[in-house]
Structure formats: structure tokens, C-alpha cells
Structure 1
Amino acid sequence: MILPTHEQAWLIAAGLELLGTRVPIAVADLAAFDQVQSKIAFARLLDDLGLPQPVWWLPDSPPTVVPPTFWVKTEFGTAGRGVRRAHSPEQGRVLVRELGRDGSAVMCQAPAPGEYGQVQALFDHGRMFAAHTCVQTGNGIGGSAASRESVDHPLARDAARTIGTALNWHGGLTLDYFHQDGYPHFIECNPRTVEPGNAAGVNLPALTIALTLGADLPVDCVTGIPGVRTHSSLALALGAAATSYRWGIVAALSSQGGPVVGSEVLTPIREDPLSAIPMAVTVSKTLVRPRSAETIAATAVDQYAITPALIDRVREATS
């Protein structure tokens, strides 16, 4: 079987007919992906479904009152790339030109209030049977969530169910949002299961395998256990190196108890001693040269990112 775990989920959806029925795979169809892979299409979908999000606009049709600071986003992008913050309308126009230089479509969006959160959900042809919500407790590169705490956010789960049902979604779906007291404003969708090791109390990998093989699935939606903390020491080290330099790296790792404790989801050294090797190499590089963190992260993202040019090529090949 095939388990699409990152950007290749869209690629597999685009070429699903080439696989036929020979390989078990749980992935939504391309028409559904098109509604959420694009940030602009996702913003329109949220409007159509009446789900909350910060005010957004296209550069050629700004609102009457533009917020003093706002985000400029390319239509396609991952891991925080293609997203820049503008601190004035003038800077926003510069960023629109810069991010759209390669022909990429660009949108603008007001900042969302509150704390960053995420809901990870699994669907069986539109039926949500597992969901987990968590909030950010530590920063990685680009403001990503390098450490998290599981929470009970029923409104975020309900919104995920609404989207998955509307799209007849099949497989994993992850929504990013900001919240105040559990009331979410959604900012982005990842049409896949993101970092399943953070899903306290919900075995997303096992459930994804069961879905893929057509095995029995939970009748009632399985939800996570609140109050469980998880972290990625490697992501914390990179985030600290990019912002706080050497002492920040040490402080970030120390605050989480280091990479050996049970809440580690990427390099669990006790269970997988060899995972200490990439951890040691990367942390050593950032301690010697903290600014290398951005290059390390960018190189990793370049290996899996689906670019607008690739999307155009695949559409031409499959049309």
C-alpha cells in the first residue's frame, strides 16, 4: 500500500487513475484537493461554508480599510515558505510583486487573533472517524509548532468535519487556525496528515493503515487526550538557531527536557538510538554557525515541496 504523508499526496491524487486498483491507497480525488491545496481556493471554500477566517483579499481588490499589518501569501507553498508579513500597505505592494514575480497568484490576509492551533482529522469518504487538536508551545523555523500541547477544541473539530463532509474527503486532512478560548479562525489547510506523532491518544498511523486496507474503523469519532505535551528537539533547535542563536538552542532543548524524554516525536533516542546521529549533526552545525538553520530547513523543504511549476506540468500531462 501507499501512505501519502506529505506534499506527494496531491501528486498521487493527480495521477490516481494511473495506479488503478492495484495499490491500496487512501487519498481524496483531485477536485477535492483543488479546493484546499490552494490558499486562495481554501479561503473561498471557508467563505462558502460559513466558517470563520481572518479578512482576506486579492491584491487588485483590497478592502476599504487595509489593516496596518497583514500577511502576503503565495497561492501554493509549504512549511511557511511563500508567506511574508507586511507592516504597511506600501510594503505589502512590494511583497506582492516579489512573491508573484514567478507568476504565482498571491493573496493578502489580516492577522488572526489568539494562539496557534491545529486539528488533524481522518475521513472515510466524507465521514470523520478520528480527530486531534493541539496548540503551539514552542517555535520552529518560520513560526511552526516545534512543541505542542493537546487540547479539547470541539469547534475546530466540527469545522474539520464540515469541510471533510462537503468535499467527500478520503484520508488525512489538517487545518491550521488561531483561537481565543477555543473559538477558531482558520488560516490554512494541509490536505494530508501532518506530524501524526503529536496526536496524543489517537493512533493516526494505525488508523490510516486500517483505512487504506479497508479494515474496520471506529464507529464514533476518536478524539485526543487533552494536556499531553509533545515536541521535536530538532525543530526546536533549528527554530532557536534562527532567532536566538547559540544560547537559544541550549535553552530550547533544556526547556523540553532534551531529546531523550518520552514526549519526543522525531528523534526518540531511547527507542531509536540511531536517531541521535542526525540530531547531533544538525545541532552541532547550528551551534557552530547558527545562521545555517535557515539553509538546513530550506534544503529539506526543497526536496518535497510541490511548486506551481510542477503543478502546471502535472496538469498538462494528465489533461
Structure 2
Amino acid sequence: MPRWQLTPTSPLSVGIALPDRVVTNEELCETLNTSPGWIERKTGIRERRYLSDGETITDLAEESARKAVRQAGLSMRDIDVLVVTCSSPEWVMPSLGVLLADRLGIETPRIVDITQHACASVVYAVYTASCLLQEPDVHNALVVCAEGPSRATDPTDRVVRVFFGDAAGATVLTKTPGSDGLLAYDLGNSPSPQVALAGTALLNRQDPADESAVTPYLTMDGPTVWQEATTRVPKSLAAVLDAAGVEIEDVAGFALHQANLRLIEHIAGSVGVDMAKVAVTVDTLGNTGGASPLTALWRLAGNGRAAAGDVIAVGAIGAGFMWGSLCFRLPYDIRVEA
């Protein structure tokens, strides 16, 4: 896949925002027909965060964005591009990106909403922002990924409900001097209905008496997801490192989609990566959808594996299926709040 041959871009900072409400496996098992031990054994997840009444996905998006811009040492007037991703917004219209720009005081007309890339959205968002940063007078982009899957999953579905948590992540990308920054990218897709969330147009035209009516909740076929993720993501990571001219042992850290811990461990083993180099947040945050690679990047930076001179790789797969990977050589330390 392509090596990045345009003006390099690189993340300056990462900010994350989490709801206050912590939901343990024990709490889930009060209403689900399963056990806390089974959930942790199968998924590696001990707890996750849920939005409470009165909290919104837009609130999380705003908080993460403010943290990222502050840590980057910039002001909102320095943001030239805003790319926002969310598969579970409160509103289909108006644009979450436009609402967020208004809250933050960002005046750029370059606002892009990515709404159907699900858990792969951060890879596509960073790629899109990097393309927009090629304009001569455009210097800084803010990418915000916010998700509230707790409100899109059936409270009685133990197969899906146990995995997901709510969160937002944001990163500031900037043009970089020299050749460091984004080295290569890999993107791919293969259509599949095995992870799906029906839209209002489909739901509203259903016959309520039809027993086969489409559910308003997120549906997921676990074995298909496992097969697709364990096949596509390792190949994508191998392709992006090859395009970047980077050996696996030269990568300081991996920020992967946090679907579940067992899946991450399997992907790391397939690629030949020591888990010590792989950031993990799924154990305490669950699968936070499109935000999850940014929570992993935040953890990498906090652990000192995203410093100037380091090579890092980002990889994700989402419903659709869509997948992708990015490889950076960092010209700066990625800054995060302690």
C-alpha cells in the first residue's frame, strides 16, 4: 500500500474524555445471563464507562478536544481542519462537527463528519485530516472520535452488551519539518452485514407486527468479527510497515482498536509483537468503538512509548467491514495529561 509522499503530518497531543459512571462486570450480570468471571475470561474486560442521564456524546467530544488542543500548546483559532467521527450521535442532523466547532470556537469551514466507519474511523479520520493539511496555508487539524455505544446496545443482549463502553478521544495533527511524521498508510474494505446498526429510515418503515422486524440495537456476529479482525488487521499492519520500510522490532508501540483483550493478544501474536509494546485500555474502558485507538495512543504516550524519534503504528477494523493502519515516525513527543 502507499508510502506517504506528501508533506508529512504527525500527532502533537492526545486528549480523552470518559463518563464518570463505572460499570463493572458484576453490575452487568445483575440483568444479563452470564457471570463476571466468564466476561473477564472471554474478553479481558473488567469494567467500562457508561454515559449517565444528562451526559451527552457531544459533551465527551468537547472535553477530549479541549484537552488535546491545550496539550498541543495551541488555541482554537489555530485549528484549520476539524474531522469528527461518531457512529452513535444524538442527531443525524445537524452535523456533530458543526455543533462541536461552535462550542469550541473553531471558525474553519473545513469540517468533515465521518459517520459510518465505526471502529475503523480514527484511521480514516487521520488519513483525511492529513490530506486536508496539504493545502499551503493549512497547518493544524483536530481529529475527534466520540462514541456512546451503551445507548445503542440491547441491555438484555449478553453477546454484545458486555463489550462496549463510552468515551471520546481527540488528537491534534500538524505539518512537520523534514521527513518524520506519517510514513505510510494502508486502507481496505469488504462489505458485510455481520455488524450492523439500523438507521431511522429502515426502522420507521417496518411493520411493528412483523416478528422478523429489524432491531434498533447494534447487532454483531462474534465469530465473523473474530475471523475478519484476526485476518485483516495483521495483514494491514504488515503492509503498512513494509511500505514505511520499518521492521517490526523497530516499532516502539502499537495503538490498536480495543475490541477485546483476547483479540488484541491474538493480533499481536500473529504479527510477532511483544504485548509489552501494545497499549491496552480495553480492560477498564471496554470497546469504545472509534475512540479506542486514541485511548490506546494516549496510553502509549503516558507509558513513554510515543516520544520523539519513536516509530508507532495504529491499526483498526470496524463494521462494514473497513480496516486500516498508519505508521508514524514521531518528530515530537505526543503530549497527554497525566
Which structure exhibits the higher relative contact order, with contacts defined as CA atoms closer than 8 Å and separated by 6 or more residues? 2
TM-score (structure 1 length as normaliser): 0.28
TM-score (structure 2 length as normaliser): 0.27
